[in-house]
Structure 1
């Protein structure tokens, strides 16, 4: 039966739920964007700090190598002076070798003849007997004219790790005249790196452009001389003399941010590796703190939202119940007069648009006043409830509407049904009531007036009610307990006529 009111709050409740979830997601998105920006700033700050540190260390190493190289160049130029061999050995030592050659972590400077024999030694006026013809720093100068050569690390018989710095001595005609060579202890780089503060998984490495490791922090003697030709820094050099990248170390396989730079114009590269976990250590703490707070606030918001939705639904249900009670007859459970009028107007407009018929039954309980006076109001109410039940069970479609019109009078609205269908419903109601009278012979009968109209611009829903009323009046005139189909009209003389 057309007796259920639509839930007007269904769509607003869904919108409220969508709005709440959208706000929570937006809040999470904002926090995620802030956390992402914080992570990017930590990364950028770490890269900038590492770049500055690498540049500072590279400058320090370059300055010391340059000073030592100046000493080598002075010796290479000095041994070519004609008078150098005519002065005393003590004076020659002073002229050729400055105090830079005796600095800490720097080895002696040797002057080698074209055969590789030691001719001069910065540490003594009487040179030792040694030959270095087989050393790479000597052989490289015999093959080509080049500037300062820095050798891979090598170990002395005493177990000391050194690198050689050497220059070619050239005659005036360009021929090979020997080599001036010095050495630098790797302990210099070890002491330099040891002064720096690194994270637990951070590293710093100094290596030549051939990939030979000269020094690494944290220090591991087994890594000295190790080849790291697969390093990304060597792959980018010499196209890039400095830069940064993120990769796993070829030494210990730890993911790091590497910042590298060439040491001056020398064939040396220095690279600092900052462990990715270390870079984001503080960020992860902030992430878990902020994430926990956001999750807690989001969860609280969602719980609060569901409580609010439940309250809205309870209020909507209460409003629906109140609306149902306001439009329902309490005694019979059918719609009341107000609900009938509103529904009839709506169905009349719909029928006008669709050009479909609208049928209306007007039902009246026969001799109800006499029955009510004879058996009392409670019995009369029971009769009205029985009639309402017969109407409710006979109107099956959701568009059908049974209503108590007033007193002992009822109405049944049947949209989209013609006279034949409406007559069938009316007879079903009478049949059900007749079945009820089988167990209670005192139960009154009913009279039914039926009207069916197709809405148009010339008539209104009031005309349908009037036609059904006329048919009901005719049913009463013809003896009651029957159905009369209208519309019925009356001529000026007062005689009945069919419209």
Structure 2
């Protein structure tokens, strides 16, 4: 508990120190405001970038899920259709089935085909392409047509594999005039030679109805494409794009490199940039591509970014403007305080420092002389018989005489770091840091002579002009003698009284009393003392 109370008690002091630092250095406040605004801007940018990344990740997850769902549905239906074709192949290989009467044989061969959803006509063609069995011919015989010019026939004839082949989209000549694809398998005789094909047609309406129910956004797309790049179905549906090849396109090449994945690319068909998720459909040579437009993905993010960015940008701008305005206020306050301080520390009559400023400067220089083991000299000056001057010439003339004496002091104290002020009434004080007694007496004589040469008339003075008396005292910081600033002033005062007792226009102590400092340089050429 005491620790908490101490911390609480120190908080206002810490606040005052911080606020004082800002007031003393207005530029620091402006820099702090700018820094805070910059930090806020950076945090906002990072947050918006994270939101943008999250939007892309959510879209990728949705596209992956949608492509997985579609691929499983399509794979299941293709497998059912393929099983129907395989049942026909098995029946064709059974002599018992071939020996059955035509109506019964028709039912046995194509019974599985009638159960396959979305599967159209199932045909069996001989090695010349002529239809020999037709599930759509009820009652038999089959329709008279030749399929030898079709790709699904040529492929099965020219290759040795009996794998399922999926043809390009076409308009069937035996079914209603709808777009369909052909699923074919090779027939071989007992010697292993080509004996025909089994064909099943699958209407593209199945794919169109399946894709139309998927949520894609305004500019999304789903493309069902063969591994050689032939488009089987696409949403949005455009009949001119069905059967078109995408092979070699920038948005198709990545799908051939792996079984599944995602990438951002520009569509070949419409030039829209999309996030694509692709997946190969089981063992079949078909790929499903689900594409979400990047414009749709980032639409909500862009709106939020504009709102958040606008609000934070406005706040940052206001913060910077407020920092600038407050900085100006601080600077004006400092200037006012500086003027007030100068006015408070400057005697309005003489232009020299006030008694308060003298006391502060003397205390500071006394401590520094002791710390640095240096010398410090003080001159106490007083105008001789000044009361009689005021009585004879009046206070206006007395003020003018004070200003003249102050000017003589200013012109005689030449070093930077020396300090002169009005001690009170007609008394003045000069502080000479780093100056031994010999140098101080040199400055005192210069001041005394300058006042004497000013020749201010003073009929009550023995010399007929205004003169001053000066007392000097020195602190030797290297001597180890303890002396306060008040004691140093008392020493200079005693010398001043001695100078006045000697008749005025005098500097005390006399030069002969300073023999030990005879070889010390004049302060006019001595090293400069540091400025207060």
Taking structure 1 as the reference length, what is the TM-score of the superposition? 0.84
- Report the alpha carbon displacement of residue 411 of structure 1 after superposing the two structures with TM: 1.0
Deviation, structure 1 residue 73: 0.9
Give the corresponding residue for 1:309. 327
Who is 1:405 aligned against? 423
Find out whether 1:385 has 2:408 as its counterpart.
no
Question: Aligned equivalents of 2:56 and 2:465: distance in 1?
Answer: 92
| 1:436-455 Cα distance to aligned partner (Å, 9 max, x none) | 43799976222233444542
For residues 385 and 142 of structure 2, what CA distance do their matches in structure 1 show?
149
Judging changes above 3 Å, is the alpha-carbon distance between structure 1 residues 498 and 261 closer, same or farther for their aligned structure 2 residues? closer
- Which runs of structure 2 are paired with 1:86-485 in the superposition (5 Å)? 86-98=99-111, 100-101=113-114, 106-124=119-137, 125-142=140-157, 143-154=159-170, 161-171=179-189, 174-230=192-248, 235-237=253-255, 240-418=258-436, 422=440, 425-430=443-448, 432-434=450-452, 436-437=454-455, 444-456=466-478, 457-462=480-485, 464-484=488-508
Q: Output the CA distance in 1 between the equivalents of 2:444 and 2:336.
A: 35
Distance change in 2, residues 1:9/1:53 (3 Å): closer
d(CA) in 1 for partners of 2:185, 2:56: 42
Worse-matched range after superposition: 419-428 or 214-223: 419-428
Say whether 1:20 aligns with 2:20: no
Cα RMSD after superposing both structures? 3.5
Give the drift of 1:209: 1.0
Point out where structure 2 has 5 or more consecutive residues left out of the alignment.
1-19, 518-532
Q: Secondary structure at the match of 1:269?
A: strand
**C-alpha distance in 2 between matches for 1:343 and 1:361:** 14
- 1:66 matches 2:79: yes
Equivalent-residue separation in structure 2 for 1:325 and 1:39 (angstroms) = 61
Which residue, 41, 63, 80 being the options, matches 2:54?
Answer: 41
Between 435-444 and 305-314, report the one with greater CA deviation.
435-444
Q: Is the 8 A contact 1:452 1:464 kept in 2?
A: yes
Tell me how far 1:268 sits from its aligned partner.
0.8
d(CA) in 1 for partners of 2:438, 2:185? 122
Equivalent-residue separation in structure 2 for 1:387 and 1:264 (angstroms)? 111
Decide which moves more: 246-255 or 448-457: 448-457
- Match of 2:521? none
Q: Which moved more, 1:273-282 or 1:312-321?
A: 312-321
Shift of 1:367: 1.4
Aligned mates of 1:354, 1:315 — CA distance in 2: 36
**Over residues 188-232 of structure 1, what are the superposed CA-to-partner deviations in whole Å (9 max), with x where a residue is unaligned?**
323433344543322221101111122222223332223223456
Per the alignment, do residues 460 and 274 of structure 1 end up closer, same or farther by CA in structure 2, a change over 3 Å counting?
Answer: same
The answer (yes or no) to whether the contact 2:91–2:98 under 8 Å persists in 1 is no
Aligned length: 487
Q: In structure 2, what is the Cα distance between the partners aligned to 1:121 and 1:34?
A: 65
Q: Which residue in 1 is equivalent to 2:527?
A: none
Does the CA-based 8 Å contact 1:402-1:412 persist in structure 2? yes
| 1:80 and 2:80 correspond | no
Pairwise CA distance, 1:351: 3.1
Q: Is the 8 A contact 2:452 2:466 kept in 1?
A: no
Change (3 A) 1:348 1:487: farther
CA distance in 2, matches of 1:170, 1:488: 142
State the distance in 2 between where 1:122 and 1:286 align.
59
Distance 1:439 1:254 in 2: 103
Q: Normalized against structure 2, the TM-score is what?
A: 0.80
Q: Distance in 2 between matches of 1:70 and 1:296?
A: 67
Distance 1:9 1:73, change over 3 A: closer
What is the CA-CA distance between 1:238 and the residue it aligns to? 5.8
| Cα drift, residue 459 of structure 1 | 4.3
Contact 2:30 2:320 in 1 (8 A): no
2-side partners of 1:433 and 1:409: how far apart?
Answer: 14
- Check whether the contact 2:472–2:495 (CA below 8 A) recurs between aligned residues: yes
| Whole-angstrom CA distance in 1 between matches of 2:213 and 2:247 | 27
2:121 match: secondary structure: coil
* Aligned-residue offset at 1:100: 4.3
Bigger mean CA deviation after superposition, 130-139 or 408-417: 130-139
Cα pair distance change 1:213/1:380, threshold 3 Å:
same
- SS of the equivalent of 2:428 reads strand
C-alpha displacement at 1:361, in angstroms?
Answer: 2.3
